[in-house]
Structures are given as structure tokens and as C-alpha cells.
Amino acid sequence: QISDDGRGMPPEDVELINRADFSHIPDGQHVGIRNSVQRLKYYYGEHAFLEVESQLDIGTTFTIGFPYDLEVEKI
């Protein structure tokens, strides 16, 4: 999780990110978030997620999740 106590995000941006629907967003907007979601899905498929919670004038929290295996492969 990554959190801040900044200005927050508008609810429509939070919804867009949580749906991972960037299809109607003009190029140049939300580039970092868009790339992060695409890479998570590319490497981990539907097992990965990025969720955002935010309140205006209070702050924002991003939660990123993906599968991992603590077993070390023996060579």
C-alpha cells in the first residue's frame, strides 16, 4: 500500500482506476497508472490488482496485489 495525505482524487477518477478502464482517456493522461495496470495484468493476469481509495482534501491510498511464491527454485 502507498498512502498520502494530499488533496485526494475526484470520485470519477477513483472509479475509472478501480475499473481499469482507460479506453476513453486521452493519451497523456493517467499514463503512469495506465502502464502500471497493464504491466500487472501482462505479468500476473487476473490475479493482480490495483485498487485506489481516496477522499478529497484527505488523501489517497493505492493498494497493489499480485501472486508470489516464497518457494525458491533449486537449480
Write down the pLDDT at residue 9. 92
Write down the pLDDT at residue 72. 67
Q: Can you give the pLDDT of all 75 residues of the chain as single tens digits?
A: 999 999 999 998 899 889 887 777 777 777 888 888 889 989 999 889 999 999 999 999 999 998 887 676 666
SS3 content of the chain, % helix, strand, coil (to 5): 35, 25, 45
Residue located via cell numbers 501472486: 67
Grid coordinates of 54: 481516496
Prediction pTM value: 0.76
Residue 25 has a CB neighbour count (10 Å cut-off) of 14
Write down the pLDDT at residue 51. 95
